[in-house]
Amino acid sequence: MLYDDKNQDYFSSVREDLISLIPVGFKGCNVLEVGCGSGATLHRLKQLGIAGTTSGIELFASKDNYYDFIDYFFSENIETIIFPAQIHGAFDIIILGDVLEHLVDPWSSLKKISKLLAKDGLIITSIPNIRYYSVVKSIVFDGDFKYKERGILDKTHLRFFCKKNIVELLENADLKINLITSSFDKETIKSKKYWLNKITFGIFHDFFVYQFLVTARKKDK
């Protein structure tokens, strides 16, 4: 299988970038992470006191893991798992870190997942940006759509998104976006990309974004 070739660090890192998007005041929460890898991020959320109860779903279980520290762990495919109605609206935070681009049908899956979100809960996701300048160069100028072991053109990616498509994906799941940001938005004045973006009045901003980080809540009914 394609995932058999992945190094363990592909699944094991703590997603500090996603944790940083959780507003102050979220404490002792019921947290679900879809595609939790080794469980390192859920373990970290417990240490920080943000998570009170943790649930993780991961199809490709890691050998080195924190599963013993996760309250509920499921080795399941998010696209086929059926959630009981009792847990609809049960989660204060749902994390999908670089997950949706791996799915055959991320639109239906996100719709299913969003039903699990509490009324005032928060979904946090990260999605690669196919519009990133090096990818555009490779496709448009080099005529090369070559899959790789990692990155935006990771060979395990089945779907590709620009910012506009990410917005549509979340809105289709009855979610209202709170924030869209990226690591590029934290670039300092020492960065060449920062100044190029400045002098072009932000016209090329999205070409410098490697992946978008998004937070969203349920739409008001």
Give me the residue spans of the domains in the chain. 2-218
Segment 42-68 shows an average pLDDT of 95
What pLDDT band is residue 33 in, cutting at 50, 70 and 90? Answer: very high
Give the residue, 149 or 7, on which the prediction is more confident. Answer: 149
What is the pLDDT, as a whole number, of residue 200?
A: 87
What is the pLDDT, as a whole number, of residue 77?
A: 96
Residue 123, strand partner residues: 94, 216
If you search the block for the tokens 């058999």, which residue do you land on? 4
3 backbone φψ class: left, alpha, beta (φ>0; ψ -120 to 50): alpha
Task: Kindly state the DSSP code that residue 138 receives in the 8-state scheme.
Answer: I
Considering the domain 2-218 in this protein, what is its CATH number? 3.40.50.150
What pLDDT band is residue 202 in, cutting at 50, 70 and 90? Answer: confident
Segment 186-213 shows an average pLDDT of 88
What is the pLDDT, as a whole number, of residue 30?
A: 98
What pLDDT band is residue 5 in, cutting at 50, 70 and 90? Answer: low
Give the integer Cα–Cα distance in Å for 16 and 22: 10
What is the pLDDT, as a whole number, of residue 2?
A: 56
What is the pLDDT, as a whole number, of residue 106?
A: 98
* pTM for the structure as a whole: 0.92
What pLDDT band is residue 69 in, cutting at 50, 70 and 90? Answer: very high
Q: CB within 8 A of 80, min separation 6: which ones? A: none
CA dist list (Å): 54 to 30, 44, 75, 134, 180: 6, 11, 14, 37, 25
- Round the average pLDDT of the chain to a whole number and report it: 93
What pLDDT band is residue 11 in, cutting at 50, 70 and 90? Answer: low
What is the pLDDT, as a whole number, of residue 4?
A: 53
> In this prediction, what percent of the chain has a pLDDT beyond 70?
94
What pLDDT band is residue 162 in, cutting at 50, 70 and 90? Answer: very high
Give the integer Cα–Cα distance in Å for 79 and 103: 7
> In this prediction, what percent of the chain has a pLDDT beyond 90?
81
> Quick check: 133 pLDDT over 90?
yes
